[in-house]
């Protein structure tokens, strides 16, 4: 290599730079052939990486842009449909979010935004699509005007069949009609009415009040929801099956059936918010809520089987009709099916479970919410106490001697006079109905009075809980607990069954409505006259997702003896 004196030391240093590298390459092409080849390879590799990087960035940008477009489009649909509607998933993400909080409030808020009706779109692979409504016009249309084309339907029957079988709550047509007709005859018989009055009096005074008194003496809180569930369970077993399980007593024994039944209703409700194909797979592999349902139904069946065996044995040795108990189960055991054969044990089991659901859960759950509302509204409690004392003070013996029998036992005619108490119970049911939602299915094309178009096979959910929170139905104070809204000139007036649907309406109107009111009034009056019920401070009260509206954590309360001066103030016999 020739020496170039023109190149200074600094120039020499620059020979190490990329420029000098290129210069050397040009000066000595033969000796730098390998280096040139390597550089070109590296440069090409760098360019490939750069191109690949930019291609990936463009792809990610496209994905992001597509996602943003879908999100904006789905969220814009909220204005029209009430909820965002996502491709493939439909409204499922919103439903899952609602289930994590209070699903009944979530449904109410959507219905309020949509003026009482909206169409829920489930995932494309599911059968969760349905119309949800809380419009009284639509309910009258479903439950009365077009009753014949709105049965419970196959979908509802499939969801609840494992628990309720072919009982009165899950069936349609002749099966339902036969059960309802038989039950209706018995419910309206004088013998049955007398038996209900006597059994309730025994339960309240021999079991319920002693348990509450024990809580006062021990100064320990109790779960009032559990106590009331025990009471109504004993009561329905006495009336419907002629069996006394002794669930309510001072020791509060563990009743496996009660736990099994609650778990079964909860697991059954989960099916309504789960795609059918999914819960059927879960049932097949015995996982999750389906495993819980299978286990709990086993406990329910064991109880029902024991009731059937016991009653059949008792009936077989009771030849004299006068000695036979007046209960629904005995009546059904004496009937024949379409082939003239006695009903199977499976069918009797279904009747048993359905009547337990009707008689146990509804009244006790309603009373639990009622006492929770009283604690928050002491003015209402004071008014109820005043009404009770006024009725008691009208007794002839009180007027003449100024003394009240001890213990005080309310008479049936006195219970019927408690109009304000009736209003307070109805108001509690308006806000917290025992059955918060119910289900139908239309079997031919139809149109709701509000203009909603329904195709044959469309599932319809009517949200009873949401109806109590709609200003369009109850006014701006709809969320307030105001028994006065049920009173006119001091007398109780019931609302339309399609505005107040706690007891259903139309041909499926609850057969036990009058008995349920009597049961609740008798129990509530007996408690309020003697005790003050105070909810434990900071006790969380939220509804549970189940077929009936249990309080998720029960109702923890402290019981206090009512002061004599409180009663004297209202009795006016000081």
Predicted confidence (pLDDT) per residue in 256-287, tens digit: 888 898 899 999 999 998 889 899 999 999 99
In a domain, 348, yes or no: yes
pLDDT over 70 at 4, yes or no: no
How far is 138 from 120, CA to CA, in rounded Å?
16
Any domain includes 493: yes
Least confident of 46-60, 94-108, 123-137, 384-398: 46-60
Are 571 and 399 within 8 A, CB to CB?
no
242-246: long-range pairs with CB below 8 Å, 24+: 242/311, 242/314, 242/325, 242/327, 242/329, 242/330, 243/307, 243/310, 243/311
pLDDT class of 62 with cuts at 50, 70, 90: low
450-481 b/e with 16+ CB inside 10 Å = b? Answer: eebebeeebbbbbbbbbbbbbeebbeeebeeb
CATH of the domain at 170: 1.10.630.10
Give the pLDDT mean for 410-439: 96
Choice among 22-36, 47-61, 417-431 with the minimum mean pLDDT:
22-36
% of residues, the chain, pLDDT over 90: 53
pLDDT tops 70 at residue 23 = no
Please state the rounded mean pLDDT for residues 103-113.
Answer: 94
pLDDT at 324: 56
Give the pLDDT of residue 469. Answer: 96
Sign of CA dihedral 7, 9, 13, 14: negative
pLDDT of residue 472: 94
pLDDT for the residue numbered 562: 92
Q: Tell me, what's the pLDDT at 323?
A: 53
Q: How confident is the model at residue 218 (pLDDT cuts 50, 70, 90)?
A: very high
pLDDT-based confidence at residue 326 (cuts at 50, 70, 90): low
- Cβ contacts of residue 171 below 8 Å, gap of 6+? 152, 157, 179
How large is the average pLDDT for residues 20-30? Answer: 42
Kind plus residue range of the DSSP H or E element containing 312? helix 288-317
pLDDT surpassing 70 at residue 319:
no
| 510 marked ligand binding residue | yes
The pLDDT, as a whole number, for residue 325 is: 58
Beta bridge partners of 454: 446
Whole-number Cα distances in Å, 370 to 283, 364, 506: 37, 10, 26
For residue 574, what pLDDT is reported? 41
Beta carbons within 10 angstroms of residue 196's beta carbon: 20
pLDDT of amino acid 320 = 54
Residue 239 has pLDDT above 70, yes or no: yes
Q: What is the pLDDT of residue 36?
A: 43
Question: Which has the minimum average pLDDT: 84-88, 161-165, 486-490, 517-521?
Answer: 84-88
More confident residue, 4 or 242: 242
Q: Is residue 308 part of a domain?
A: yes
- The answer to whether residue 67 scores a pLDDT higher than 80 is no
Q: Is residue 143 part of a domain?
A: no
Report if residue 47 sits inside a domain. no
Q: How many CA atoms lie within 13 A of 487 on its CB side?
A: 14
Query: Phi and psi for 192 in degrees, rounded to 5?
Result: -70, -40
Compute the average pLDDT of residues 339-351. Answer: 84
What's the pLDDT score for residue 270? 92
Q: Is the pLDDT of residue 15 over 60?
A: no
| 299 in any annotated domain | yes
Token readout for 548 is 């009936």
Considering only residues 347 and 214, tell me which one the structure prediction assigns the higher pLDDT.
Answer: 214
Give the pLDDT band of residue 46 (cuts 50, 70, 90). Answer: low
Confidence of residue 18 (pLDDT cuts 50, 70, 90): very low
Q: Give me the pLDDT at residue 5, please.
A: 41
Q: Does residue 393 lie in a domain region? A: yes
Q: How confident is the model at residue 31 (pLDDT cuts 50, 70, 90)?
A: very low
| pLDDT computed for residue 80 by the predictor | 56
Degrees, nearest 5: CA angle 475-480-485: 60
Rounded average pLDDT over 445-472: 96
User: pLDDT tens digits, residue range 554-571?
Assistant: 999 999 999 888 888 787
Mean pLDDT of 90-119: 90
More reliable by pLDDT, 449 or 14: 449
Each residue's pLDDT tens digit, 482-526: 999 999 988 999 999 999 999 999 999 998 899 999 999 999 999
**Stretch 209-217: mean pLDDT:** 96
Nearest Cα residue to 550 out of 266, 234, 212, 231 = 266
| Residue 506 φ/ψ region, left for φ over 0, alpha for ψ in the -120 to 50 degree band, beta for the rest | left
pLDDT at 72 over 90: no
Residue 425: CB atoms within 10 A of its CB come to 27
CA distance 296 to 190: 37
47 pLDDT band, cuts 50/70/90, is low
Using alpha carbons, list the distances in angstroms from residue 283 to 92, 152, 289, 547. 21, 23, 8, 19
Determine how β-strand 222-223 pairs with β-strand 130-133: unpaired
Q: What are phi and psi of 277, to 5 degrees?
A: -60, -35
Write out the residue range of the structural domain in which residue 377 sits: 148-571
- Look at residue 402 in the predicted model and tell me its pLDDT: 74
544/536 Cα distance (integer angstroms): 19
Number of domains comprising the chain: 1
Average pLDDT over residues 309-325: 68
Task: State the average pLDDT over residues 416-429.
Answer: 97
Q: What pLDDT, on a 0 to 100 scale, did the predictor assign at position 29?
A: 45
How sure is the predictor about 381, in pLDDT bands with cuts at 50, 70 and 90? very high
Name the pTM for this structure: 0.84
pLDDT bin (cut points 50, 70, 90) of residue 141 is very high
In a domain, 20, yes or no: no
Query: Which H or E run contains 426?
Result: helix 419-431
Closest by CA to 343, choosing from 351, 186, 315, is 351
d(CA 456, CA 474): 32
pLDDT on residue 568 = 80
Mean pLDDT, the chain, whole residue set? 84
Q: How high is the pLDDT of residue 569?
A: 79
Residue 151: which of 496, 440, 547 has the closest Cα? 440
């Amino acid at each position: 290599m020739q020496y170039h004196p023109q190149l200074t030391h600094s120039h020499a240093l620059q020979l190490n730079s990329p420029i000098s590298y290129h210069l050397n390459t040009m000066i000595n092409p033969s000796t730098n052939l390998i280096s040139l080849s390597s550089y070109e390879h590296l440069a090409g590799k760098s360019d490939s990486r750069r191109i690949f990087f930019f291609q990936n960035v463009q792809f990610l940008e496209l994905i992001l842009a597509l996602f943003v477009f879908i999100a904006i489009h789905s969220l814009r649909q909220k204005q029209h449909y009430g909820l965002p509607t996502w491709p493939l998933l439909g409204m499922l993400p919103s439903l899952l979010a609602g289930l994590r909080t209070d699903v009944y409030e979530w449904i109410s808020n959507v219905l309020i935004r949509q003026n009482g009706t909206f169409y829920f779109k489930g995932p494309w692979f599911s059968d969760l699509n349905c119309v949800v409504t809380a419009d009284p016009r639509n309910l009258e249309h479903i439950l009365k005007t077009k009753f014949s084309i709105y049965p419970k339907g196959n979908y509802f029957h499939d969801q609840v069949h494992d628990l309720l079988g072919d009982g009165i709550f899950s069936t349609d047509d002749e099966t339902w009609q036969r059960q309802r007709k038989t039950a209706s005859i018995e419910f309206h018989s004088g013998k049955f009415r007398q038996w209900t009055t006597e059994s309730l009096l025994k339960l309240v005074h021999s079991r319920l009040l002693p348990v509450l008194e024990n809580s006062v003496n021990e100064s320990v809180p109790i779960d009032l929801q559990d106590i009331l569930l025990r009471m109504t369970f004993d009561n329905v077993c006495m009336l419907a099956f002629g069996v006394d399980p002794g669930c309510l007593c001072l020791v509060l024994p563990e009743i496996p059936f009660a736990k099994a039944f609650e778990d079964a209703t909860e697991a059954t409700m989960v099916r309504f918010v789960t795609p059918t194909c999914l819960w059927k797979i879960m049932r097949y592999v015995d996982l999750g809520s389906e495993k819980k349902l299978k286990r709990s139904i086993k406990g329910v069946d064991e109880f029902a089987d024991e009731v059937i065996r016991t009653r059949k044995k008792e009936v077989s040795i009771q030849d004299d009709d006068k000695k036979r108990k007046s209960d629904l189960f005995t009546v059904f055991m004496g009937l024949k099916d379409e082939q003239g054969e006695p009903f199977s044990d499976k069918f009797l089991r279904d009747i048993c479970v359905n009547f337990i659901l009707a008689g146990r859960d509804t009244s006790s759950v309603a009373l639990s919410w009622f006492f929770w509302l009283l604690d928050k509204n002491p003015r209402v409690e004071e008014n109820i106490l005043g009404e009770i004392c006024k009725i008691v003070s009208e007794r002839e013996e009180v007027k003449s001697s100024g003394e009240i029998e001890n213990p005080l036992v309310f008479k049936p005619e006195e219970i019927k006079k408690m109009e304000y108490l009736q209003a307070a119970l109805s108001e509690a049911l308006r806000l917290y109905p025992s059955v918060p939602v119910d289900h139908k299915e239309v079997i031919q094309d139809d149109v709701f009075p509000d203009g909603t178009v329904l195709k044959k096979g469309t599932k319809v959910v009517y949200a009873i809980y949401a109806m109590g929170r709609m200003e369009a139905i109850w006014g701006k104070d709809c969320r307030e607990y105001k028994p006065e809204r049920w009173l006119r000139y001091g007398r109780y007036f019931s609302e339309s069954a399609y505005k107040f649907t706690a007891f259903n309406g139309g041909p499926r109107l609850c057969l036990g409505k009058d008995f349920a009111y009597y049961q609740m009034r008798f129990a509530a009056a007996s408690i309020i006259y003697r005790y003050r019920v105070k909810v434990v401070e900071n006790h969380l009260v939220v509804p549970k997702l189940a077929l009936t509206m249990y309080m998720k954590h029960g109702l923890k309360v402290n019981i206090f003896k009512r002061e004599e001066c409180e009663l004297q103030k209202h009795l006016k016999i000081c």
